[in-house]
Amino acid sequence: MTVRTKRLDAGVAQAMSAVSAAAKKGLGDPALAELVVLRASQLNRCAFCLDMHLAVARELGVGERQLDMLSAWEEAGAVFDERERAALALTEAITVLTDRFVPDDVYDRAAAHFDGPRLAHLVGLIVAINNWNRVMVARRIPPGGYTP
């Protein structure tokens, strides 16, 4: 597996980081942000992103149990609370967009747990990581390049 291209316009990279940073800040829950980012990266199979955000999540103290169960969160019972589950369901709906629209029940569940500004930033965060996933997978950036 070789890198296809490391090239990424500096203005693009900087603006992408700004989108992510603003979304994360507005959500105001760094641990939840990492769960969301990791779940999207699992669905999009972005090795670089998984490697990076597993490191970030562990640094933040996200539990190993949650990290282990993340890809089966729906079946993982009490490992995730209702707010986390609502965020993860929204993450999946927005990430797998080509199969269907974002269902009303998924959206409504998220809206019940997050107020307007937080919900808008949560959507922004899900969009932002999808953006990174695409840019990293398309260029085949390998895992391991990130050090906390």
> Which residues contribute to the site for another protein (CB under 8 A)?
4-5, 7-9, 11-12, 14-16, 18-19, 21-23, 25-26, 43-45, 90, 93-98, 101-102, 107, 111, 116-117, 119-121, 123-124, 126-128, 130-131, 133-135, 137-140
Strands (E), 17-129: none
Q: Looking at the chain, how many residues does it have?
A: 148
Minimum Å gap between C-beta 146 and another protein is: 19
Looking at beta carbons only, is 117 or 145 nearer to another protein?
117
Please name which of 145, 76, 74, 84 lies closest in space to residue 114, comparing C-alpha atoms.
Answer: 84
Nearer CB in complex with another protein: 31/127: 127
**DSSP conformation class of 4:** S
